[in-house]
Amino acid sequence: SFFRALIVSFASALGFLSGIGILAIGILTTYSVFMRYLFNKPDIWTYPVSSYLFCFVIFSSIADAQRNGAHVRVDYIFAVLPTLAARVVNLISRTLSVLFISVLLYQTWVVFAQSYRRNRVDETALSIPLSIVQWILPLGTGLLLLIYVLQWFSLDKNDRAG
């Protein structure tokens, strides 16, 4: 469907951007090390920027990782269980996962919304508004929830582990 294709494309695009974020973190860290140890001119901005990029990388990649089956799973349990028991455990596991992700989505939204409403700024020398950094929290979590639900409803009848 169009909705599914849109969600999958958006998750893929964010996953790609997270890769660029990892590259940027590496470049910033290298720059910081060179400035501090070769030129004796430490900077004050690369650590917080790298930390914010790391947050972006995590929350922008979780939906794409779920879509590609890259999250950690315990397949052994499903391999030793009879088919019916594996399906029941899979259903319970998916239900609990959706509930957990839903709570996480709510909490990340609260964090973002409070920072936005209160105009909170970070406590570094950058003093940037935290909402500029935190918007990815509910977006990434919401996208993860959508991907998870799409996968849940498109389960193969022969899929033991999900």
pLDDT at 161: 43
**pLDDT score for 155:** 58
Q: Closest by alpha carbon to 97, among 68, 70, 66, 58? A: 66
In a structure prediction context, what are the per-residue pLDDT tens digits for the chain, which is 162 residues long? 898 899 999 999 999 999 999 999 999 999 999 999 999 999 999 999 999 999 999 999 999 999 998 877 777 787 888 989 988 888 888 899 999 999 999 999 999 999 999 999 999 889 999 999 999 999 999 999 999 998 887 754 334 344
In this structure, are residues 32 and 43 in contact, taking their beta carbons and an 8 Å threshold?
A: yes
Please give the pLDDT value at position 63: 95
Q: Are 57 and 22 in contact (CB under 8 A)?
A: yes
Enter the pTM of the model.
Answer: 0.85
- Asked if residues 59 and 141 have their Cβ atoms less than 8 Å apart, the reply is yes
CA 31 from chain centre, in angstroms, equals 26
Q: Would you state the pLDDT for residue 162?
A: 46
Residues in the chain: 162
- Which residue from 112, 105, 141, 142 is spatially nearest to 129, judged by alpha carbons? 112
Beta bridge partners of 121: 129
Residue 156's pLDDT is: 42
The structure tokens listed for 90 are 């899979």
Q: Which residue has the tokens 């028991």?
A: 85
Can you give the three-state secondary structure of 89-122, one letter per residue?
HHHHHHHHHHHHHHHHHHHHHHHHHHHHHCCCEC
